[in-house]
Structure 1
Amino acid sequence: MRSPTPQVLPALSSLDDLFPVRLLPADHDPLADGILMAHQVAWIEDRSILKLGAKGRRTGITYGEALDNTLIAAASLSAGGDNVFYIPDVKDKGIEYIRYVGHFARVVSKELGTIQEFLFEDRLPNGDSRKITAWRVQFLSGFRVVALASRPANIRGLQGVVVIDEAAFHADVAAVIDAVNALLIWGGRIRIISSHNGEENAFNTLIKDTRAGLYDYSIHHIPFSLAVKNGLYERVCLMRGWTPTQAGRQAWLNTVLRSYGPRHEARDEELEAIPRKSSGVYLPRALVQKAQRQGIPIVPWSVSETFYLDDERMAVGKRWFAEHVRPLLAALDSSKRHVLGQDFARDGDLSVIVVAEEGLGDVWSVAFQIELRRVPFDVQRYILFEILDLLTRWLAKLDARGNGQSHAEAAQQKFGVDRVECVMATAQWYALHFPEYRAALEDGTWLLPMGEDVIADHRLVVLRNGFPAMSDQHVKGQDGEFRHGDSAIAGLLAHAATDSEPMEYGYRPAARPAASTEGGLDRDGFWRPARDDRPRHSLLPRFRGGL
Structure 2
Amino acid sequence: MTAPLSKEQWAEIRRQSTDAVIDLVQKVGQRRALLTYQAKTIALLESTACRVLFIEKSRRIGLTWGFASYAVLRAARAKSAGGMDVMYISYSQEMTREFIDACAMWARAFSSAAMQMDEFLFDDSDDEGTRSIQAFRIRFASGFEIIGLSSAPRSLRGKQGVVMIDEAAFVDNLKELLKAALAFLMWGGQVVVCSTHNGAENEFNLQIQDILSGRSGYDYLHIDFDEALEQGLYQRICLVTGKEWTPEAEADWREDIIKFYGDGADEELFCVPTMGTGAWLPGPLIEARMTSDAPVLSLDLPQDFLHLPELKRQSLLAPFLEELKAALATLDPLRIHAFGFDFARVADLSVGKLLSIDKTLRRESALTIELRGVPGDEQKMIVRMILEAAPRLVGAAFDATGMGWIVAEDMGRLFGLRDNDHPAGLVHAIKFSQEWYRLNMPPLKVAFEDDAISLSKNADHLGDLRLVKVIRGIPMIPDARTGEGNKKRHGDYAIALALAHYASRMEWHEYAYTPAPPKPDRFSETAGSDDKPFRMGSLRRKRGYY
TM-score by length of 1: 0.78
The corresponding residue for 1:440 is 447
Choose from 18, 34, 49 the match for 1:25.
Answer: 18
The corresponding residue for 1:412 is 412
Matched ranges for 1:71-110 at <5 A: 71-110=73-112
How far did 1:177 drift?
3.0
Mean CA deviation greater in 78-87 or 51-60: 78-87
CA–CA distance in structure 1, aligned partners of residues 365 and 470 of structure 2:
25
2:295 aligned with 1:297, yes or no?
Answer: yes
Choose from 65, 68, 73 the match for 1:66.
Answer: 68
Corresponding letter in the other structure for 1:282: W
Corresponding letter in the other structure for 1:25: T
Does the 8 Å contact 1:281/1:461 carry over to 2? yes
2:337 aligned with 1:344, yes or no?
Answer: no
Does the 8 Å contact 1:314/1:379 carry over to 2? no
The corresponding residue for 1:392 is 391
CA–CA distance in structure 2, aligned partners of residues 244 and 428 of structure 1:
54
2:493 aligned with 1:476, yes or no?
Answer: no
How far did 1:494 drift?
1.2
Deviations 1:466-500 (A, max 9, x none): x5502415232367533222111211221232223
How far did 1:437 drift?
2.2
The corresponding residue for 2:223 is 222
CA–CA distance in structure 2, aligned partners of residues 201 and 407 of structure 1:
35
Distance 1:228 1:491, change over 3 A: same
Matched ranges for 1:265-344 at <5 A: 266-293=264-291, 295-303=293-301, 322-344=321-343
CA–CA distance in structure 2, aligned partners of residues 155 and 112 of structure 1:
23
The corresponding residue for 1:193 is 194
3-state secondary structure, aligned to 1:368? strand
CA–CA distance in structure 2, aligned partners of residues 136 and 312 of structure 1:
58
3-state secondary structure, aligned to 1:496? helix
CA–CA distance in structure 2, aligned partners of residues 21 and 237 of structure 1:
19
3-state secondary structure, aligned to 1:146? strand
Distance 1:58 1:313, change over 3 A: farther
- For this pair of structures, how many residues does the alignment match? 486
CA–CA distance in structure 2, aligned partners of residues 507 and 322 of structure 1:
33
How far did 1:66 drift?
1.3
Deviations 1:475-530 (A, max 9, x none): 3236753322211121122123222355546489xxxxxxxxxxxxxxxxxxxxxx
How far did 1:71 drift?
0.1
CA–CA distance in structure 1, aligned partners of residues 438 and 196 of structure 2:
27
3-state secondary structure, aligned to 1:371? strand
Does the 8 Å contact 1:87/1:94 carry over to 2? yes
Does the 8 Å contact 1:57/1:271 carry over to 2? yes
Distance 1:495 1:294, change over 3 A: closer
Matched ranges for 1:110-121 at <5 A: 110-120=112-122
2:165 aligned with 1:164, yes or no?
Answer: yes
Distance 1:326 1:501, change over 3 A: farther
Q: What is the alpha-carbon root mean square deviation over aligned residues?
A: 3.5
Structure 2: runs of 5+ lacking an equivalent: 1-11, 419-423, 515-537, 540-546
How far did 1:454 drift?
0.6
Does the 8 Å contact 2:169/2:203 carry over to 1? yes
3-state secondary structure, aligned to 1:338? strand
How far did 1:182 drift?
3.3
3-state secondary structure, aligned to 2:455? strand
CA–CA distance in structure 1, aligned partners of residues 156 and 177 of structure 2:
8
TM-score by length of 2: 0.78
Using CA pairs below 8 Å that are at least 6 residues apart, which structure has the higher relative contact order?
Answer: 1
Could you tell me the percent identity over the aligned residues? 34
Distance 1:103 1:302, change over 3 A: farther
Q: When you count helix as a share of all residues, which structure comes out higher?
A: 2
Does the 8 Å contact 1:39/1:230 carry over to 2? yes
Corresponding letter in the other structure for 1:85: M
3-state secondary structure, aligned to 1:300? strand
CA–CA distance in structure 2, aligned partners of residues 68 and 496 of structure 1:
53
